[in-house]
């Protein structure tokens, strides 16, 4: 297809998989991979000059904004910095995209919801972030849509993948210590393998989808049951204890931002509009462990 696409945040966990996937079959886009070394999204003039320069001699069709301040607890302390990246940065990217006639793809989060709904969350459900990180990402959604009404907003959750720090790696590292591991069992969501997510994003871009979509791994689990599955597939005998969020926060000894209790997505819209059903999170975990040589 050779469609020019810019991926910002290209060195992140999702960004690396997305660049790799979009560059190769079946998508075969002309991908420009940018990270903080190439562009500072908090500076509007930097983004504008970089995007306009890339558009000289070619027609940029999409700019995928994977850049984000993702430290949920850190956002409570570094409010100005997290807002600059997740909200103002999103506005700058969308504004630059509009100037060159490109469509923005903004990667958002389940944290725009309060997590109180017992059934899967739909795109049109009311947003109500319970922490500052969620507030900044919701602001990023709003800024993106204000600059680019045809933008594609993709809400994701519980990422793990081969190109970054994630829950699976944390659990495997803790297991090596031989100590008891305490894991929260009253937060439920859907672990999402970045390679599966990147594939879904590629399909959505190819179909020129616009609007808000929920995308995550299929199925659901708690962090504790997720950890159990990791150790079972890795063939590791680990002393793991389920705890409530309250018990975990009490024992953390540091600032811990509030998390949504139930983050499972309704992905009917994705399945209908993209004719694509996300693979189960357990399938993604198995592939991840196989790739790193840890699968039993």
Q: What is the pLDDT of residues 94-136, one digit of tens each?
A: 999 999 999 999 999 999 999 999 999 999 999 999 999 999 9
Torsion of CA 125, 130, 136, 137, to 10 degrees: -40
Res 256: pLDDT: 80
Catalytic: which of 69, 106, 132, 133? 133
Q: Is the pTM of this model over 0.85?
A: yes
| CA–CA separation, 206 and 26 (whole Å) | 10
Q: How confident is the model at residue 250 (pLDDT cuts 50, 70, 90)?
A: confident
Q: How confident is the model at residue 255 (pLDDT cuts 50, 70, 90)?
A: low
For β-strands 159-160 and 192-193, DSSP reports them as parallel
- Collapsing DSSP to helix, strand or coil, 107 comes out as strand
| pLDDT, mean over the chain | 95
Res 2: pLDDT: 66
- Our answer to whether residue 133 is catalytic in this structure is yes
264 versus 256: which is more confidently predicted? 264
Statement: residue 268 has pLDDT above 70 = yes
Res 253: pLDDT: 63
Let me know: does 151 contact 210? Beta carbons within 8 Å. yes
All domains of the chain in start order, with CATH: 4-165+191-218+263-279 (3.40.50.720)
Res 57: pLDDT: 85
* Residue 289 CB neighbours (<10 A): 19
**Distances, alpha carbon 112 to alpha carbons 16, 116, 174, 221, 222, in Å:** 24, 12, 30, 19, 19
Check the CA dihedral 80-84-86-88 and report its sign. Answer: positive
């Amino acid at each position: 297809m050779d469609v020019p696409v810019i991926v910002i945040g290209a060195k992140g966990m999702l960004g690396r998989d997305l660049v790799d996937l979009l560059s190769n079959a079946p998508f075969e886009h002309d991908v420009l991979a940018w990270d903080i070394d190439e562009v500072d999204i908090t500076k509007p003039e930097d983004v504008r000059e970089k995007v306009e320069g890339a558009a000289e001699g070619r027609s940029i069709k999409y700019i995928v904004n994977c850049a984000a301040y993702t430290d949920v607890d850190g956002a409570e302390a570094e409010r100005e910095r997290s807002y600059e990246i997740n909200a103002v940065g999103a506005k700058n990217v969308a504004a630059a995209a509009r100037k060159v006639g490109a469509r923005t793809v903004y990667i958002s989060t389940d944290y725009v919801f309060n997590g109180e709904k017992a059934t899967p969350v739909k795109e049109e459900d009311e947003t109500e972030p319970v922490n500052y990180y969620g507030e900044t990402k919701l602001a990023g959604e709003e800024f993106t849509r204000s600059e680019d009404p045809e933008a594609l907003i993709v809400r994701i959750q519980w990422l793990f993948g081969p190109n970054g720090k994630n829950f699976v790696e944390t659990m495997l590292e803790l297991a090596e210590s031989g100590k008891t591991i305490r894991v929260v069992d009253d937060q439920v969501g859907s672990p999402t393998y970045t390679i599966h997510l990147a594939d879904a994003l590629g399909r959505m871009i190819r179909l020129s989808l616009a609007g808000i979509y929920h995308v995550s791994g299929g199925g659901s689990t708690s962090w504790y049951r997720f950890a159990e599955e990791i150790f079972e597939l890795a063939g590791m005998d680990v002393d793991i204890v389920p705890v409530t969020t309250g018990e975990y926060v009490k024992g953390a000894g540091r600032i811990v931002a509030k998390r949504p209790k139930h983050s499972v997505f309704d992905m009917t819209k994705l399945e209908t509009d993209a004719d694509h059903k996300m693979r189960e999170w357990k399938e993604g975990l198995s592939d991840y462990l196989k790739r790193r040589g840890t699968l039993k």
